[in-house]
Chains A and B, each alone.
Chain A
Amino acid sequence: MRLAAYAPPGRSRRWLGPIAALVLSATLGFLPLSIKRPVAGVLERTVFFPFRFTVGWGERMLSGREEAKRLSRELAQRQWSRDEAEEARIENARLRRLLGFHRRADHNLVPCSIVGREWGRAGEVLLIEAADPGAAEPGRAVVSPDGLIGRVSSREGRYARVECLTHIQVAVSVLNQRSREGGILKWSPERRPGLAIRGIPSQSDWQPGDRLVTSGLGTAFPRGILVGWVERHRSQGGGMLKEVRVRPAARAARAEEVFLLERVEAGFGFPGAEEPGEDLSALFPVEPGARSARTLFKGKVGVDPGPMPVP
């Protein structure tokens, strides 16, 4: 038999293809998903690969740009948060110290903010604004958690000028806590500017690392405020006298908050004080675990000046 006898008519032949395609589609539609997935994978990798690749590239480009924008925004947000967190950490540490400092004090400490700094030929001056303007009377001691800053020199309304330790008008009577030697600490802007105690006998006992506090002599500064540490000493006046260089405990340039030591009007000390000239040493305790001054200043063997806080 000839094959042509069995060939379908022309019009019917035209429908074979579309009907076959529809039947194939229906068959695919009723298959389970476990078979559809591999079939879809084969079609994606073969017949439709150019379409999928191009669409995927477009999708990747669009999503890549959006992802880049999103990441950029997120990065900026995180950087800002990190800066904020760092600032908060620093402020937290500072305020914790202030709080601890304030807690130790049994006296009135009036907080002040520093609104200006000035460094002239006469020395360093701070301009402060006290929480209680009436407390900023001339002559009052100004302290920070680190130690003595200076004293109030004048007041104008809410603001007060503070002459720091590094000012030629400020002289502090200090006491060596170890040797109980005393002297007058002054700042000198001459050839080698710095804080120094001058004109003390050469036999007096001053060792590097010795802790200096205010002696309470005079009416300027109450006793016991930490002033600094002995840095070194050298002879002067032909060997009869010596000069002791002092490193200050508190740096006015680094201070962010300071306190006014409010003096009780009774004149015998501070609120809660029973004796005149009460010692304020408790405000400036020796830090535990502080390094020995012998290590820092290479003092005499056998002399233990006591621990010094790490500056």
Chain B
Amino acid sequence: MFVIRCIAVIFFLLVAQTSWIPRLRIGGIGPDLFLGLVLVLALRKGTTWGVWSGVVLGLLLGVEEPATLGSESLALGLTGLAVGQASRSVDKQNPFVLVLLLILSALITETVRTLFTAGGNPGNAFLLWWRWVPGSVLYTAVFVPIFAYVSARLLGIRGWISGAA
């Protein structure tokens, strides 16, 4: 049942990410819903689930845009790894902690993406990082919790973070 719900959520997020989410972009920066999904799976199911879900979702995004194939998987996979490891020692019911974890995971994801985009040039990487990362992190940290809360209320899902790995 959990797997089926995951697949349904992935469908929904994929449709949203390719249809109306791009319209919410500000200066080319938009929220990352898949990051929120990796975060939830890593918190709920642990490191292994976090890494595999990050890699698979990254491949799914990479299929959409072949230039990012691999880099998205690595970024989301590392995020899943970090959050999975951090979830062992944090209070998963505290919303502030969750937002903090979201910010951390957004930082990791955007940094890895920026490094791949820079193509190995440190100067480019530095400039790109300042241009894209803070805005993306902020936008994701604000939008994803609101989106998740509204979705959970609409779908009647309660306690979707509870349940230790």
Within 8 Å by CB of B70, from A36, A44, A54, lies: A36
> B58's closest neighbor in chain A, by CB?
A25
Stretch in A13-21, A118-126, A242-250, A298-306 touching the partner: A13-21
A7 within 8 A of B: no
> Which of B14, B18, B74 has the most chain A CB within a 10 Å cutoff?
B74
User: 1/0 contact trace for B107-150 toward A, CB 8 Å?
Assistant: 00000000010000000000000000000000000000000000
Name the prevailing secondary structure of the A interface residues: helix
Give Cα distance in the complex from A48 to B14, angstroms: 12
Indicate whether A27 sits within 8 Å of B70 (C-beta atoms), given known contacts A54-B15, A55-B15. Answer: yes
> Which residues of chain A are within 8 angstroms of B15 by Cβ–Cβ distance?
54-55, 58-59
Are A21's CB and B55's CB within 8 A? yes
Using a CB-CB cutoff of 8 Å, which residues 228-274 of chain A contact chain B?
A: none
Are A48's CB and B78's CB within 8 A? no
Within 8 Å by CB of B11, from A18, A51, A62, lies: A51
A29 within 8 A of B: yes
Within 8 Å by CB of A40, from B10, B55, B66, B77, lies: B66
Are B55's CB and A25's CB within 8 A? yes
Closest beta carbon of chain A to B133's beta carbon, Å: 18
Closest beta carbon of chain B to A64's beta carbon, Å: 13
Stretch in B29-37, B45-53, B91-99, B154-162 touching the partner: B45-53
Give Cα distance in the complex from A18 to B56, angstroms: 11
A30 within 8 A of B: yes
Give Cα distance in the complex from A48 to B63, angstroms: 8
Using a CB-CB cutoff of 8 Å, which residues 149-180 of chain A contact chain B?
A: none
Within 8 Å by CB of A18, from B60, B63, B77, lies: B77
B43 within 8 A of A: no
Within 8 Å by CB of A58, from B19, B55, B59, B66, lies: B19
Indicate whether A22 sits within 8 Å of B59 (C-beta atoms), given known contacts A36-B70, A59-B18. Answer: no
Give Cα distance in the complex from A43 to B60, angstroms: 8
Are A29's CB and B55's CB within 8 A? no
A31 within 8 A of B: yes
Give Cα distance in the complex from A39 to B60, angstroms: 12
> B76's closest neighbor in chain A, by CB?
A25
Give Cα distance in the complex from A47 to B63, angstroms: 10
A115 within 8 A of B: no
B102 within 8 A of A: no
B86 within 8 A of A: no
Give Cα distance in the complex from A14 to B52, angstroms: 12
A310 within 8 A of B: no
> B48's closest neighbor in chain A, by CB?
A18
Are B66's CB and A22's CB within 8 A? no
Closest beta carbon of chain B to A12's beta carbon, Å: 13
> Which residues of chain A are within 8 angstroms of B52 by Cβ–Cβ distance?
17-18, 21
18 contacts between A and B (CB under 8 A): A14-B48, A18-B77, A22-B51, A22-B55, A24-B55, A25-B59, A25-B71, A28-B62, A28-B69, A29-B70, A29-B71, A36-B66, A43-B63, A44-B63, A48-B63, A51-B10, A55-B11, A55-B14
- For the A-B complex with A24-B73, A29-B116, A40-B63 known, give 5 more contacts whose Cβ atoms are closer than 8 Å: A37-B66, A43-B62, A51-B10, A52-B63, A54-B15
Kindly list the 7 A-B residue pairs having the minimum CB-CB distance in the complex, ordered from nearest: A28-B70, A29-B70, A25-B73, A18-B51, A40-B66, A25-B74, A29-B71
- Mark A residues whose CB is within 8 Å of B: 14, 17-18, 21-22, 24-31, 33, 36-37, 39-40, 43-44, 47-48, 51-52, 54-55, 58-59, 62
